[in-house]
Each structure stands twice: as structure tokens, then as C-alpha cells.
Amino acid sequence: MTNSLGLAGKRVLVTGAASGIGLETARVLAEEQAVLILMDRDEAMLAGIARELGAVASAGGDVTREEDCDAMVAKAAVAAGGLDGLVHCAGISDRVAKAFDIDIDEWQHIVDVTLRGTFLACRAAARIMVPQQRGSIVAMSSIRGLIGSPRRHAYGPAKTAVAMMAKNLACEWSLSGVRINAVAPGFIRTPMTDRLIAEGKLDEGLLIDRTPMGRLGSPLEIARATAFLLSDWSSYITGVTLPVDGGWVAYGGAGPVEAH
């Protein structure tokens, strides 16, 4: 039995591929010999990554713009000769602030990137996948979308909506052979997390104490879970949101996790 996920030759578009989880996912898929098409708003950074990973195409764009998402998917389909998978990692963090202090335009921007962007990217990809009667989509939710969190009033609710979107779209597209699932990362060592820790908006020690596995996760661990959901190894899984969080959501204790 091979250890491969069977992604060799699969044509996969990865958004948010210039950094963090998107970049690590693209690397894992390259190792699995998938045919890669990469998208990120940072075109300069993306160009070098595309060369490094042997992507057949790369594109800049804003996922909140319908025309950008449609053009991105069209470019992917032409460059790769079709589209078998989408991993939608494009996203941004919000400002950690009390509800009374949030600027509503800033709130709307986070919601647009997270929710509108996910819907537009998934819909554009499905317009290719549904007629061909096959395809797999993985979107990024978050444990912030599975639990209540103070001072995260845009990011958390938008990620909750992404999880529900995966359910809704799975109910609509699965009979057409298109699966869609979501991954809910916990606290992962990414540039975004490091910035929040450096700014004093996250306490790394408290996060570690509260996580049953006693550490932050790595982008590689999210990428591997994503590759599994993208692959045929998960062929009877659709409409789920998989927490990859070291047990964070499972833990309901009143204090730090204790080893036994």
C-alpha cells in the first residue's frame, strides 16, 4: 500500500499561497506531485514561490472581487487543462478590540475577505467542477468559528459562516460529484500568530497551557489535513469542518490542562 494520497496529476488551485498555511499547503501538494496553480494578492512574493514549486501558473487578485475570482479560475483551467481541486486559504486577521471600539468599515472588510471571498472562490471553481462531475474543495474556517471569543467580532463570526457554507454547498454540489469541506485550524505558528503575540494580543504561554497537546500547531499539520480532505482518501466525507487544534475545542476545563 502506498503512502501517497493519490494527488499526483490532480490540478489544484491554492489561494493565499504566498505565506502561512497557504504556502505550506502548496508545498505539500507539490511534494504529492499535484499540478499547481497559485493565487495571492502579493504577486511579487508569489512569483518566486510559483517558480520554486513548479506551478504551471500564478495570478494576483482580490478574492472579494467576483471578476478576479472568475479570472483566477479561468486561468487555472486553461493553464492546467481543467481543475480538480481548490484550497482556499486567502484571509486576513481582524483587530482585537471590544465591540464598542470596532470601526464598522474595518469589520465589513474582514467579513468580505473571509466570507464573500470564500463564496466567490468556491462558486467560481464549482462552475468548472460541476459540469465535469468531479472535484474537491477545502476552505479555511477556524476554531474562532467554533467557539465564542471576546474581541474577535468580525473574524470569528465570518469563520463560523465559512463552516456553515461548507455544509450548504456540500448539500447542493455533492450529487454532482463535487465535495466541499473546511478545516478549522487552532493556534498555529504563522506570521499572523507571531504578530499578534508580539503585539501582546495573544499570550503564548496561556495558549500552550490551555491546549491539551501542550503546544502550538505548525502550518505543515494544517497542510497535511487539508491534503487529506482534498484527496480521494476522504471520498465519503463532505460538508464537514475538521478542527486541527491540538484538542483546543475539545477541552472544557476551568484552568490549564494537567498531565497525568
Look at residue 1 and tell me if it is in a domain. Answer: no
Mean pLDDT over the full length of the chain? 94
User: Which of 10-14, 98-102, 127-131, 150-154 is least confident?
Assistant: 150-154
C-alpha grid cell for residue 39?
Answer: 493565487
Look at residue 56 and tell me if it is in a domain. Answer: yes
In this predicted structure, the answer to whether residue 158 has a pLDDT above a threshold of 60 is yes
- Kindly state the average pLDDT of the residues 79-101: 92
Look at residue 250 and tell me if it is in a domain. Answer: no
Look at residue 6 and tell me if it is in a domain. Answer: no
Residue-level pLDDT at 116: 97
Domain count, the chain: 1
Using pLDDT thresholds of 50, 70 and 90, give the confidence band for residue 33: very high
What is the per-residue pLDDT across 59-70, written as a single tens digit (0 to 9) for each?
A: 999 999 999 999
Supply the CATH number for residue 42's domain.
Answer: 3.40.50.720
Look at residue 73 and tell me if it is in a domain. Answer: yes
d(CA 178, CA 240): 14
**Side chain identity at 91, as an amino acid letter?**
G
Residue-level pLDDT at 3: 63
What is the per-residue pLDDT across 206-253, written as a single tens digit (0 to 9) for each?
A: 999 999 999 999 999 999 999 999 999 999 999 999 999 999 999 988
Q: Shortest CA distance to 222 belongs to which of 20, 48, 19?
A: 20
What is the per-residue pLDDT across 34-76, written as a single tens digit (0 to 9) for each?
A: 999 999 999 999 999 999 999 999 999 999 999 999 999 999 9
Contacts of 210 (CB under 8 A, 6+ apart): 248, 251, 256, 257
- Kindly state the average pLDDT of the residues 151-166: 94
Using pLDDT thresholds of 50, 70 and 90, give the confidence band for residue 27: very high
Contact 62, 39 (CB under 8 A): no
In this predicted structure, the answer to whether residue 1 has a pLDDT above a threshold of 50 is no
Look at residue 170 and tell me if it is in a domain. Answer: yes
Instruction: List the catalytic residues.
Output: 155
Look at residue 253 and tell me if it is in a domain. Answer: no
Residue-level pLDDT at 82: 95
Contact 227, 5 (CB under 8 A): yes
In this predicted structure, the answer to whether residue 2 has a pLDDT above a threshold of 60 is no
Burial 177-210 (b: 16+ CB within 10 A, else e): ebbbbbbbbbbbbbeebeebbeeeebeeeebbeb
Look at residue 5 and tell me if it is in a domain. Answer: no
According to DSSP, the residues that pair with 243 across neighbouring strands are: 184
Share of the chain above pLDDT 70, in %: 98
Q: Is 77 helix (H, G, I), strand (E, B) or coil?
A: helix
Q: What is the DSSP letter of 188?
A: B
Q: Which domain holds residue 227?
A: 11-244
